[in-house]
Copies of this chain bind each other. A is one copy, B any other.
Amino acid sequence: MTKPIIMLGSGGHAAVIADIIQQLDYTLIAVVSPSSERRSLFSGIQHFASDDDILQFSNDEVKLVNGLGALPGQSLRHQLFDHFTQLNYQFESVVSPYAMLSQYTTIGAGAQILTGAIIQTGSIVGCGTIINSGAIIEHDCHIGTNCHIAPGATICGGVCIGEYSHIAPGANIIQGISIGKNCVVSAGATVTKDMPDNSIAYGYRSKIEIRS
> A residues touching B (Cβ–Cβ < 8 Å)?
12-13, 15-16, 18-19, 39-41, 69, 71, 98, 100, 102-104, 115-116, 118, 120-122, 133-134, 136, 138-140, 150-152, 154, 156-158, 168-172, 174-175, 186-190, 192, 202-205
Contact = CB atoms under 8 A, between A and B. Distances in A.
Contact of A203 (B172, B187, B204): B204
Nearest to A17: B121
Given A12-B139, A104-B19, A172 B156 contact: no
15 contacts: A13-B139, A15-B139, A41-B121, A102-B115, A116-B136, A133-B136, A134-B134, A134-B136, A134-B154, A136-B152, A150-B156, A152-B172, A154-B170, A168-B174, A172-B188
Given A118-B134, A134-B134, A187 B187 contact: no
Contacts of A186: 190, 205
Contacts of A169: 154, 156, 172, 174
A60 B120 CA distance: 32
Copies in the assembly, this chain? 3
A122 B202 contact: no
- Mostly helix, strand, loop or mixed at chain A's interface? loop
Contacts of A13: 139, 157
Given A12-B122, A115-B120, A152-B154, 11 more contacts: A39-B104, A40-B104, A41-B122, A102-B115, A133-B136, A134-B134, A151-B154, A169-B172, A186-B190, A186-B205, A187-B190
Contacts of A156: 150-151, 169
